[in-house]
Structure 1
Amino acid sequence: MDAAPPRTVPRSPRAEATRQRILDAALAEFAARGLAGARVDDIALRSGANKRMLYAYFGSKEDLWLTVLETAYEAKRAEERALHVGDLPPADAMARLVRFNLRYTARHPEFVSLLNQENIHRAAYLSRSERVRAMYSPLLGTLSDVLARGAAAGVFRQGVDPMQAYVTIVAIGHFYVANMHTLSTIFGTELGAEPALEAREAHCVEVVLGWLRP
């Protein structure tokens, strides 16, 4: 691997635009080819920047991979925060969170690809990120509040672990999208079509709310 010079922080709008182009190009290359298969030359070519600039802004290819991961997680959390589930009745809040996670995953197959690749690496790069861990503490706090309000209102059972609840919510959507092509082939139906997504969405909401019922 080429040696990477110390990273610099873009200061001008033009420099920031170049940095964003590199990030966008890296996301596309990493999602398509993974960390091992993506080449810095191809990322630079796709972004219209040169390798020197890429290394100046991000360091090594591995550092760029981690930045892409962090940015992808941050984008999802930003949309999750915009749901304002704390302002909704508990059952509505939970249903909105379930729908969002399925639909977000379906809209962003590149996010699925990045997570699958990072799991192949056993989260070796994500484990370096304090930034991502910090994003999820407020989420679990919000979910804890929804669960507590639901239990107090008698619509949710007591003692639900918010982390387990969130993992379940994410999993039932992520598995569907991550395996959409194989499942569509096996069952002979296009699971990415809107009617199929609507059916899956309704099923996911029913499963989660049924599990939470006292």
Structure 2
Amino acid sequence: MRVAPLTGVVAVALTVAAFLLLGDTPGTGAPGREVRSYYDGHRAQTGVSLYLLVIAAVLFVFFAAHLARAVRDVPPGGEWLHRVVLAGGVLLAVGFLVGAALTLALLDLSDKSSASPQALQALNALNEDFFIPFVAGMGLMLLAAGLATVRADGSPLPRWLSWAALVLGVLVFIPWVGFFAFALAGLWVIVASVLLARRLRTSQSL
């Protein structure tokens, strides 16, 4: 499918839209009353953002699968590193899905009087700090793709993009830098998606 690589572009676009819709959610130390008030007052936009995030998670798996297939044919590391690429994409998607489920629980509990402020505060703190799985998944996917292609002949990615994947894949795991590296990783996915789509179109036209 010629559109397979472009799932990365759509996934990044949906992720950005989802996080923008979520807005400035209450921090980890916010009291339960504030958490209840926020989610009760942002019910519609939060629901839409969760829907977009779920779709983005699915599309990231499709992109990771296509990237893994491209990496698999690159010797000598591609024979096993393509599995790491796919595993990173799956971990990223699982992180998004679990995070969406936690936010949905906050949304459901915010209009129930039986939910105590302490419970809302604890759930919100867990939700706010639940970023490690999807950040690690992105880092793992880029790191494996970079390692497999940076020194290989006939790489599906330009050498500069492979080096960028390596650098971002490392930076994602560094505290205080990881957030910015994750954002730049989204740009990497967009560029890689477009280049892989062009490569696929060229190979199918021959």
TM superposition score category, shorter chain reference: under 0.3
Rg larger in 1 or in 2? 1
